[in-house]
Amino acid sequence: MTDVQPDPRDLRPLTGEPLALDLLNTRWAGTPVNDLLTGVEGYAIWLSSAGLGERCAADEAGLAAIRQAREAILLAAQDAREQGELGAAARDGLDVVLAYGRIRRAAAPGGAEDRTEVDRPEWLAPWLAVDGFLALLGQGAQRVKQCAHEACILHFFDASQNGRRRWCRMAVCGNRAKAARHYVKARS
């Protein structure tokens, strides 16, 4: 999601991941778990941060659709992480969202142009997120990761050369883990 500035009202600790993972990151650690998508206002903030505020309306129908997409992507991300591939339930969940849209190829002045079409407007953001998730899987399911810190539930796409990134943010979760290891080592 390059060149998209997060909405200043967006308080999430990690933004700017690819659309599908940015959607998963609308939940973050806390007691209870923080959730940006508890209402239409939060959905509007996410749409704005994702660069979709001009293309998608923030309404109850869209909120319900995006929550459904988030659950489908979450199940698929867990399958990809744990099994290296998507199980039947994960595929079915993604396919339900994808059934609301399609990519239509059209002639444009510079050649071919792909246009996303959806059956109902509330399905545009969910469809784009699921389609983007499948594109990430195409780059390597093992690169779709959840932060390795036990208290963190954020997701990221590991674009590192060797594919060994472990933390959503080294400055936060990585340092917490290093500090915990140092504490244990210093006490022994």
* Residue 173 pLDDT: 86
Rounded to an integer, the average pLDDT of 31-57 is: 97
Domain ranges of the chain: 19-142
The pLDDT of residue 181 is: 56
In the chain, the largest separation of any two C-alpha atoms, in whole Å, equals 69
Confidence of residue 175 (pLDDT cuts 50, 70, 90): low
- DSSP letters, 1-43, are -TT-PPPTT---S---S-HHHHHHTTEESSSSPEEGGGSHHHH
**Residue 58 CA to its chain's centroid (Å):** 18
With vertex at residue 114, the alpha carbon angle to CA 108 and CA 116, rounded to the nearest 5 degrees, is 130
The mean predicted confidence, pLDDT, of the chain is 91
Per-residue model confidence (pLDDT) at position 1: 44
pLDDT exceeds cutoff 60 at 183: no
Q: Rounded CA gap, 180 and 152, in Å?
A: 15
| Whether the Cβ atoms of residue 132 and residue 73 lie closer than 8 Å to each other | no
Is pLDDT of 80 > 80?
Answer: yes
Residues 36-47 have a mean pLDDT of 98
Main-chain phi, psi angles of 105, to 5 degrees? -90, 135
Closest CA to 26 of 72, 67, 75, 79: 67
pLDDT over threshold 80, residue 170: no
> Does 182 or 154 have the greater pLDDT score?
154
Residue 184 has pLDDT above 80, yes or no: no
pTM above 0.85, yes or no: yes
